[in-house]
Every structure is written in C-alpha cells, then in structure tokens.
Amino acid sequence: MITVKNLHKTYPGALEPSLSGLSFSFPKGRIAGLLGPNGAGKTTTISILCGLVRADSGDAQIFDLHQDAHHRESIKKMIGIVPQQIALFPQLSALENLTYFGNLYGLKGKSLRTKIENYLQRFGLEKNGKKEVYKFSGGMKRRTNIIAALLHNPQLLILDEPTAGVDVQSRNMILQFLREYNQQHGVSILYTSHLLEEAQSLCEEVAIIDQGRLVMQGQPLQLIQQHPECRNLEEVFLHHTGLAVRD
Amino acid sequence: MLRLLATIRKEWLLLIRDRGGLALLFLMPLVLITVMALIEDAPFRDYQELKFDVLTVDNDHGRLARYIKEGLEHSGQFTLVDSLDGKPVTQEDAVRLVNAGDYKICILIPKGATAAIVSNANRIVNDLSKRMGLPAVQPVKSRNDSLNVLIYFDPAAKKAFKSAIHQALDNFLTQIETDLLLERIKLQLHSKEADAADTFAIQLKAVGLQEQVTGPTKQINMVYNSVQHNVPAWSIFAMFFIVIPIAGNMIREREDGSLLRMKLIPGSYLALLAGKMLFFVSICVVQFYLMTLVGIYLMPLLHLPRLVLGHSYLPAFVIALCISLAATAYGILVGTLFKTPNQALSFGAISIVILSAIGGVWVPLEVMPPAMQFIGHLTPLNWGLEAINDLYLRNGGFPEIIGNAGKLIVLCLAMLYLAARVEKGRIS
C-alpha cells in the first residue's frame, strides 16, 4: 500500500509550491501510474516516497511505514527505484555496475553473479555485460538501469519514466517484463510516464496530478468511461490538465 | 565492510579507465618535479658551489696580488683570468667585459698595494719597538696613502653574490696584513727569537669556526638544494591536485545519477564516502613515495643532487598520510560545494596553485616578505612542507611534526564536517 496524505513541498527559492496538499493511495500488488504534465510534482512525490526529499508537511507511507528518519532505512530495503536518469557509472561495464550496486545491497559471490546473469539474459543484454555502459544504446542503458533496481528483490518497484527515449522494441520488452514481474512475484509497481497510451495499457490504476494536487484517480477504463467525450486516457488527461504547454 | 571494499574496487576501476586522470596524478608531478628541480637548480645552489671566471688586473705584481690569486684559486670557486688573447687584461678591457655581463667580477690590484701593507706593518712594529725601548729600524713610507683593491661587478649580479665576494676578499686582505705583521715582528725580534713569534701565530689561529649539527641525530650537514626543496614541495602540490579527480568524480556521480542510486540503497552513505576517501588517500600516499623515488633515483641521473630522506621513516609516512587526508577532504569539499565540473575543476586547480605559491612550494617561504610569510604559514601545503623539512633537513621525528600533522588532521575533519552539512542541507 502506498499512501500519500496532504503532502506540501516548496523548494527553497521556488516561487510556486511543487506539491499543494497532494493525496492519493494505491493498493499493494498493483501496477499503478502517477501521471501528470511537466512540473505537476511527480518526481517530487517519488523523491519524498524514497526519502530523498523531505516534505514540508503531510505524510507518505509505504506498506504502512511512515517515511521518516525512523523508517527510512527499512523503506529503502523494500523499494527498488529506477530513476529518470541513467543512474549508472558510464565508464564501468554493465556487469561491474550491477556487481557494485549488488554489493551495496549486501549481495555478493556466486548468488549475485547468477542473479545478474539471469537478469542480463532476461533483458537481452547477456552479450554486452562486459561492455562499458557509455557504449550502450539508450534502450540498453534503460534496461540496465532497471536491473540495478531489481537485484535485492524489492517489494515495491518505483519507476520514473523508465521508457523515456527508448525504441519501440526496448519499450515493449520493458513493459512486458514489468507485467510479468508484477504477476509472478506480486511486486507492487509505481510508474510515472508522459506516454499516456503506455500507461493505459500497463497500469491497473492511475492518479493524474497537476500543480501539486490530485486531479483524479481510478482505473484507466473507468476514467475514460466517466468522460464520454474522451476516447482514451490521453484525452481525459488533456481534458483535466489543459492544452497549455508546460515548462 | 563489503560496501567499503566494493567502493574501493569501483574507484580503482574508474581511475584506471581515466587515462587523463592517471596522467594528472602521476605524470604531471613527475614532469613538474623534474622541470622545477632543473630550473631552480642554479638559483638554489649556494655560491660556494658555483665556479666563476674572475678577471684579474694585477698592477701590483707583489705579494698581495699573489695572496689574492692563490686564495681565490684555492677556494675552488674561481677561475682566474689575467690575460685575454695572450695579452694581460687591462682595466679598460675588464670594466667593459664585466659591464657587458661577459664576466661576473673583476678584481683590480693597484700598483704599490703590497708596499703599502708592508709599510703599514713596519710602522706598527716600529711603534711597538719604541714602546718596548727597542730601536725602530723597519723602513716606512713617508706618506700613508690609502689604497683600495677595486672590484667591478656585473650590474646584474645579486646582492648576496656581491657580499660573498666582498667577504672573501676582506678575509684575504686581513690574512696578508696579519702574515706580514707577524713576519715584520719576526724580523724585529731577530731569528733567534723566532719561535716566540711562531707561538703568537699559532695562538692567532687557535680560535676558529666550526659548524655544528642542530638536529637530534649527528648526521650530515644537509644542504638545502633544488631537489631537497622541489621534490617534497611539488609532491605535496600533486597530492593536493587530487582535488581535480575527486571533485570531478563526485560531480559526475551527481550528474549521471549514480550518486542518487547510491543514496537510495540502504546503509550508511558514510561507508561509501569512507571507501572513496580511503582509495584516494592511498593514491596520494603512493604519489608521495613515487615522487620520493624520483628524487632518489631520477634526479642524480639528471646531474642533480640526490634526495636525502633523514632517518625518520615512520614519521614521514604519518605526515604523508596526514597530507593525503587533508588533500582528499579538500577534494570532497570542492566536489560537494560546486554543482558543475567546470566550476569545481577551475576553482580546485586555481586554489591549489595559489595555496602552493603562498605556501612556499614555488619558492621557499623564507625569501618572501614578512606578510606573505605569515599568510604562508596558514596554508596546509606549508604545514606539510614544513613537516617534511623537519624530517628530511632537520633530522626531526614525531615531536617535531606533531603540530603540523595535527593541523592537517583538524583541517581534514573540518572540511569533511562542512561537506556533510552541505550535503545534508540538500536533502532537507
């Protein structure tokens, strides 16, 4: 269960708040989407959930644990995060990167090696494990970025735009994996994206946020049905967030 | 422990794939030390070690000229040149050549100089004889003309050089005056009493000068030369230059998101920072000893003096460690404070160059104005250099380096604390 209650956050020096009383909740074991235009507060919300940023007020809970100094380490153990950035060392190979991050999780030896090899194979990277990451294509980097978040078997996987800038094949592989991973291991997935079509096909439940507030929440099909004039989730999204370009 | 070891391994892999960084850490100091030691060799050499051609114009042709010539040649510093193209050097030639900088110095011994000294000695002996009731029989000149040995210096000659030459010639003049005086006394006392005068001469030489070692051990009289200054000084400079790879590495980690991932993984970030620090401290220590080997083995191959280490090997390791800690902490602070590699690398490099200039790396602090000396004593590079000099030149040990080592450790802790505060502020 991911619960966010009345979150407020204004960054030092910012004129506008990033979050203005944001609240939503997703049940455990589901693939949930957090959608919104640029500057809506998606990354800030994820950062608060991960403990990277402190909220000015409000409450964020993951599996009934409040995100505070007391529970921060416990929450980190339960979650795997795929940041928007390719959070890898470009000069190291995929194998070296994954071994390093595995070691940081306390994993080592043959079990870690086997796990890495399995994931590399699953993501079609088995022949490129020893190649430096800076030589990878965008899709290969994204896939390696995801593997790094899976090594410690998290209960919740948070992905911040995991398919940004990748080709159709890589995107398809990533989305297919996420579905399988959710179904086979019962892992909860929280996912953000600008690609509404992708969100509609992947997510069982979505929350649309704008200007730091929740606009609407529900299953994609339900949301579309609630708006007879809209044919898909993207039109619902535009209906609520407007056509004005965001910075 | 696994986190620490994994981080050290990761830093090692990153470093060995960064050829530019490796060159900066190991090749740059090697080149710097070699070039600076060669360039500064001559200015660092004591004038006693250098040999000069000295033009001599001898218009006296007496004992004074002989004494001066013998004395100068005996010192080993001077090669006397009294003829050019087979002709005796004239005053006009000498002045022209020295003024043009072709020769550093010319000594002109005036006509009648020896006679004047002999006459003066005779006058003293006669005066003493009269007071003792003996006849004054030594011939003296009726007029006591004042004669000077003339010295011409190259206008570009340094003050220290001039005063060294003045002092040497003064010594020769005093010596010949004393010798002639004793000789005249001998003549006055006649040969049968010559032993008494000899005793007097021996007594005159009985009190001399002897330089003593000031350090705790009775070692060598260490000469502060170009190698002895430049090898430790530029090694410390290079160790502090580790700010560039550390800050660059930290900012890259922040920019490429790997730092974000490290922070998202449970466990203390301090362990990761400790691993990074341990790795770069080790690199600094390796740098220090590699440069020491350069001083010992490479410098003599370039006809430069060999680096002398003193006897305190453990204290030298400790101070190398303290310098490395301060340098690494500085790198972490710069890497934390600045947001872009350009800012951090420019600031890091310029600040190290300035600190090294102030701290006595380029030229010893002693030759700087008092205000700069005061500022120089506040820089960590100077603390390190002073401690090394205490060990290598002054034969010191732990008691001598404890102050500077303490300052480096305190600075290291202060910089790490500041970096931690800034980093914590970013999260909040």
Which residues from B are below 8 Å from A88, CB to CB?
A: 256-258, 261
Kindly tell me if the per-residue pLDDT of B38 is higher than 70: yes
**Residue in B with minimal Cα distance to A108:** B2
The residue-averaged pLDDT of A181-194 equals 88
> A64 touching B, CB under 8 A?
no
Q: How crowded is residue B97: how many other Cβ atoms within 10 Å of its Cβ?
A: 19
Q: How crowded is residue B71: how many other Cβ atoms within 10 Å of its Cβ?
A: 17
Q: Quick one: which of B222, B220, B223, B228 has its CA closest to B40?
A: B228
At B135, is the secondary structure helix, strand, or coil?
coil
Burial class (CB in 10 A: 0-12, 13-18, 19+), A195: middle
Which residues from B are below 8 Å from A85, CB to CB?
A: 256-257, 260
- Edge to edge, the sheet with strand B150-153 lists B78-81, B52-58, B105-109, B150-153
Confidence of residue B365 (pLDDT cuts 50, 70, 90): confident
Q: Token pair for residue B179?
A: 């010798």
Shortest alpha-carbon distance between residue B337 and chain A (Å) = 17
Strand partners for A3: A25, A61
Kindly tell me if the per-residue pLDDT of B210 is higher than 70: no
Which residues from B are below 8 Å from A79, CB to CB?
A: 264
Query: What separation, in Å, do the N-terminal and C-terminal C-alpha atoms of chain A show?
Result: 32
**Residue in A with minimal Cα distance to B265:** A76
CB contact under 8 A, A54 and B427: yes
Range with lowest mean pLDDT among A101-105, B215-219, B362-366? B215-219
Give me Rg for the CA atoms of chain A: 18
| B6 → closest Cβ in A85, A91, A100 | A100
> Which residue's structure tokens are 């030639």?
B93
The residue-averaged pLDDT of A193-201 equals 82
> A52 touching B, CB under 8 A?
yes
Confidence of residue B193 (pLDDT cuts 50, 70, 90): low
* Disruptive mutation site among A100, A157, A190 for chain B (greatest number of B CBs within 10 Å): A100
Q: Are residues B237 and B319 in contact, defined by beta-carbon separation less than 8 angstroms?
A: no
The third-level CATH classification (topology) of the domain covering A2-241 is: Rossmann fold (3.40.50)
Q: Token pair for residue B356?
A: 């090294």
CA distance A3 to B168: 92
CA distance B356 to B234: 9
CB contact under 8 A, B3 and A103: yes
Kindly tell me if the per-residue pLDDT of B215 is higher than 60: no
Q: Are residues B418 and B396 in contact, defined by beta-carbon separation less than 8 angstroms?
A: no
Which of left, alpha, beta for A124 (phi over 0: left; psi -120 to 50: alpha)?
left
Query: What separation, in Å, do the N-terminal and C-terminal C-alpha atoms of chain B show?
Result: 28
CA distance B310 to A2: 66
The DSSP element (H or E) to which B45 belongs, if any, is none
Range with lowest mean pLDDT among A233-247, B79-93, B185-199, B411-425? B185-199
Give residue A96's pLDDT.
94
CB contact under 8 A, B261 and A87: yes
Which residues from A are below 8 Å from B3, CB to CB?
A: 103-104, 106
> A91 touching B, CB under 8 A?
yes
Confidence of residue B213 (pLDDT cuts 50, 70, 90): low
Contact partners, residue A87, CB within 8 Å, separation at least 6: A145, A148, B256, B257, B258, B260, B261
Whole-angstrom CA distances from A84 to A87, A116, A165, A192, A203 are 8, 21, 11, 9, 18
Can you list the domains of chain B with their CATH numbers? 2-44+223-427 (no CATH), 50-204 (3.40.1710)
Kindly tell me if the per-residue pLDDT of A189 is higher than 50: yes
CB contact under 8 A, B257 and A87: yes
Q: Quick one: which of B339, B417, B336, B425 has its CA closest to A12?
A: B425
Give residue B192's pLDDT.
47
Q: Are residues A159 and A125 in contact, defined by beta-carbon separation less than 8 angstroms?
A: no
Going along A19-98, which residue ranges are E strands? 19-26, 31-35, 57-62, 65-66, 79-82
Kindly tell me if the per-residue pLDDT of B428 is higher than 60: no
Confidence of residue B220 (pLDDT cuts 50, 70, 90): very low
Please state, rounded to an integer, the average pLDDT across all residues of chain B: 83
Q: Are residues A156 and A62 in contact, defined by beta-carbon separation less than 8 angstroms?
A: yes
CA distance A179 to A198: 12
Which residues from B are below 8 Å from A103, CB to CB?
A: 2-3, 5-6
Q: How crowded is residue B409: how many other Cβ atoms within 10 Å of its Cβ?
A: 15
- CA B321, distance to chain mean position in Å, is 24
Which residues from B are below 8 Å from A54, CB to CB?
A: 427-428
Instruction: Return the DSSP state at A13.
Output: T
Greater pLDDT, B160 or A123:
A123
At B298, is the secondary structure helix, strand, or coil?
helix
Q: Token pair for residue B415?
A: 């910089």
Whole-angstrom CA distances from B363 to A38, B37, B46, B113, B392 are 57, 11, 15, 44, 18
Strand partners for B58: B109
Confidence of residue B116 (pLDDT cuts 50, 70, 90): confident
CA distance B287 to B300: 20
Give residue B223's pLDDT.
61
Greater pLDDT, A246 or B121:
B121
Range with lowest mean pLDDT among A133-142, A199-208, B188-197? B188-197
**What's the pLDDT tens digit per position in B243-285?**
988 998 889 888 888 888 888 888 877 888 888 999 999 999 9
Q: Token pair for residue A177?
A: 């994996």
Q: Count chain A–chain B contacts defined by CB atoms under 8 A.
A: 78
> Which residue's structure tokens are 């009775």?
B218
Domains in chain A: boundaries: 2-241
CB contact under 8 A, A132 and B17: yes
Which residues from B are below 8 Å from A49, CB to CB?
A: none
CB contact under 8 A, A87 and B258: yes
The residue-averaged pLDDT of A204-225 equals 85
Q: Dihedral sign, CA of B62, B66, B67, B69?
A: positive
For A116-183, give the secondary structure using H, E and C: HHHHHHHCCCCCCCCCEHHHCCHHHHHHHHHHHCCCCCCCEEEEECCCCCCCHHHHHHHHHHHHHHHH
Torsion of CA B274, B279, B285, B288, to 10 degrees: -130
Q: Are residues A66 and A4 in contact, defined by beta-carbon separation less than 8 angstroms?
A: no
Which of left, alpha, beta for A16 (phi over 0: left; psi -120 to 50: alpha)?
beta
Shortest alpha-carbon distance between residue A63 and chain B (Å) = 17
CB contact under 8 A, A85 and B10: no
CB contact under 8 A, A103 and B6: yes
**What's the pLDDT tens digit per position in A10-45?**
988 888 888 888 899 898 888 999 988 888 888 899
Which residues from A are below 8 Å from B261, CB to CB?
A: 81, 83, 87-88, 101, 148
The overall pTM is greater than 0.80: no
The residue-averaged pLDDT of B58-70 equals 83
CB contact under 8 A, A50 and B264: yes
